[in-house]
Amino acid sequence: MTVQTIGEGSATDGTALYARVQQFYADQVALLDELRAHEFAETFTEDGVFSPSPSVPAAHGRAAIAAALLAAHERRFRSEEVRRRHWYNMLRVSVRPDGALHTRYYTLVAVTRPWNPVPDIGPSSVVEDLLVVRDGALLTRERRVVPDHLSF
Amino acid sequence: MTTETLERSVDLAGQTGFGDLYARVQRFYAHQMQLFDLHDADRWAATFTEDAVFSVPTLDAPVRGRAGLVANVLRNRRRQEESGEQHRHWIGMLDVHPGPDGTLRTRCYALVYVTPRGGGSRLLRVCVMEDELAPAGGDWQTRRRVVTRDDLA
C-alpha cells in the first residue's frame, strides 16, 4: 500500500500518513515564516511549481521559488519589520494512483508589527498541493494558492 | 489495523489506538467542512445520518433529516452569492470521547472567516460545536449536532 512507501508503520487507513503530512507542513511553514527562502524552496522538488495566486505567474524550479518568495515579501512589506505566521487547517489528503498525495487545506496569515499586539489577519486562502516521496521524505511538487478574495 | 501497529500506537496515557482515532476524526471534519464551504449540498448531507438533527441558533427549529440539510446549504449558497462573500469554517481544540457501539461524542470550537470579493478576510463568528457521531462503514456520520454562537449564547 502507498502509505508504506513513506515508511511510517503500516497503518491501513492512512492516519499515520495524515499525521506525517501535518508534520511536513509544520516544518515547511517555519521556513516560510522565517523567510528562509532557499531552505523553503528545498522542500519542493527540483522541478517544483509554486503558484502563490492566480493573478501572478507561477515560479518553476527551486531558484525561482526562492526568488519569488523574497520578491513578494519585499513588494508587500518593503523594509518594514513584520512577523508572519501562516496557519493551515482543515487538511484533506488523498492518495493518487501514482502514489503522489493530493492535499487541499485552508490558510490564514497573521501579520504582527513591533509593539502592536493586534495582528492583521491576512488573506483567507485555499491551497492545493501535490506531494511526492523522494528518498523517504515528502516534497512539494506543485502548490496552487487561491486567495478567497480572488476566488469568485 | 495490525497488532504491530496497535502496539506501536500505545501512547503514554495507555490509550491504545487513540492517536489513530483522533486523526481519523480530524480528517472527517476537514472533509465535512470543506464540502459545506463548497456548498456541495448532497455530499455534505451524506456525511450525516438519514435522521440527523442539526441545531443552530440562527434557525427557529432544529433541522431534521438530509433533505432539510440540503435545503439549508442551498440557502447559504444563495445568500453568499448575493452578498459576494466566501465563508470558511475552521475547527480546532477538538475533544473526542469514544462512546458505546463505536459512537463518538465530540466538542470543538469553530471559527468562521469571511472574505468579500476583492476584500480582506475577517473573523465573522466564534462557535462551539457538539456532535454525536455514529459509525458508518469505517467512517462516521453526524447523528446530532448542536452549534452555539458566542454572540448569541
* Domains with residue ranges and CATH for chain A: 2-150 (3.10.450.50)
**What ipTM was estimated for this complex?**
0.80
Average pLDDT of the residues in B58-62: 90
A147 interaction partners in chain B (CB closer than 8 Å): 115
Closest partner CB to A108 (pick from B29, B89, B113): B113
Q: How far apart are CA A25 and CA B52, in angstroms?
A: 35
Pick the residue of B3, B22, B35, B86 with the most A CBs within 10 A to test the interface with A by mutation: B86
In a domain, B1, yes or no: no
Q: For B3-34, how does the pLDDT look when each residue is reduced to its tens digit (9 = 90+)?
A: 444 344 344 444 558 889 999 999 999 999 99
- The region of weakest confidence among A62-66, A113-117, B38-42, B85-89 is A113-117
Mean pLDDT across A67-75: 95
The string of pLDDT tens digits covering residues B91-149 is 999 999 999 999 999 999 999 999 999 999 999 999 999 999 999 998 999 999 999 99
The whole-number average pLDDT for the span A46-66 is 97
Give the mean pLDDT of chain A: 90
Residue B7 lies in a domain: no
Number of domains in chain B: 1
- Three-class HEC string of B67-135: HHHHHHHHHHHHHHHHHCEEEEEEEEEEEEEECHHHCEEEEEEEEEEEEECCCCCEEEEEEEEEEEEEE
State pTM to two decimals. 0.85
Q: Is the pLDDT of residue B81 over 50?
A: yes
Q: Give B62's pLDDT tier (boundaries 50, 70, 90).
A: very high
Is B133 inside any structural domain?
Answer: yes
| Domain range for B44 | 15-149
A151: pLDDT confidence band, cut at 50, 70 and 90?
Answer: confident
Q: Is residue B129 part of a domain?
A: yes
Q: What is the pLDDT of residue A3?
A: 36
* Interface list for chain A against chain B, based on CB atoms closer than 8 Å: 9-13, 15-16, 18-19, 89-93, 104-106, 108, 121-124, 126, 147-152
Is B1 within 8 Å of A105 when comparing Cβ atoms?
A: no
CATH (domain of B119): 3.10.450.50
Q: Which DSSP state fits B2? A: -
Q: What is the DSSP letter of B65?
A: S
Whether B8 maps to a domain, the answer reads: no
Provide the percentage of residues in chain A whose pLDDT is more than 90.
Answer: 82
